[in-house]
Structure formats: structure tokens, C-alpha cells
């Protein structure tokens, strides 16, 4: 219910969820496949690299207000 109080149940958000939902099982399956093929160290480096890029983008977006 808190999502409803915050106005998160908009048509736009529900549409995004509807489009993203079919991709989730693929992503859940793909993660272990990639982890098994490239090894743990490289997998975590890849994940941390992606997190850094996304974090920098979010910080940039917040400063551009």
C-alpha cells in the first residue's frame, strides 16, 4: 500500500513493469550462465563496473536538477 500512497501505481509505471516482466526470467537465467562461463572474479568485476557506471549516471542526473 505505501506504493499507492506515494503515487507509484500510475499507468506509466505499470506499463513499464508490464514491459519489463517478460525480460526478468531471461535475466535470472542469464546471470548464472555468465557467472559460470567467465569465473567469479571477472563476474564480480563486471557487476561492480556496471554498478559504478549506473551510480555515476544517477549522481549526474540528480545534480542536473
Which residue is it, cell 500512497? 5
pLDDT of residue 1: 58
Please provide the size of the chain in residues: 65
Task: Give the three cell numbers for residue 32.
Answer: 548464472
pLDDT score, position 36: 83
The number of distinct structural domains making up the chain is 1
pTM greater than 0.75 (yes/no)? no
Q: Which domain holds residue 38?
A: 2-63
Query: How many angstroms separate the Cα of 59 from the Cα of each of 17, 45, 55, 56?
Result: 24, 21, 6, 5
Per-residue CA distances from 5 to 8, 29, 44 (Å): 8, 34, 37
For residue range 16-59, list pLDDT tens digits in order. 989 999 999 999 999 888 888 888 888 889 889 999 999 999 99
Amino acid at each position: 500500500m505505501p506504493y499507492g500512497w506515494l503515487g507509484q501505481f500510475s499507468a506509466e509505471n505499470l506499463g513499464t513493469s508490464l514491459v519489463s516482466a517478460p525480460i526478468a526470467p531471461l535475466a535470472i537465467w542469464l546471470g548464472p550462465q555468465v557467472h559460470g562461463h567467465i569465473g567469479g572474479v571477472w563476474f564480480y568485476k563486471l557487476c561492480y563496473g556496471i554498478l559504478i557506471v549506473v551510480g555515476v549516471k544517477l549522481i549526474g542526473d540528480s545534480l542536473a536538477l
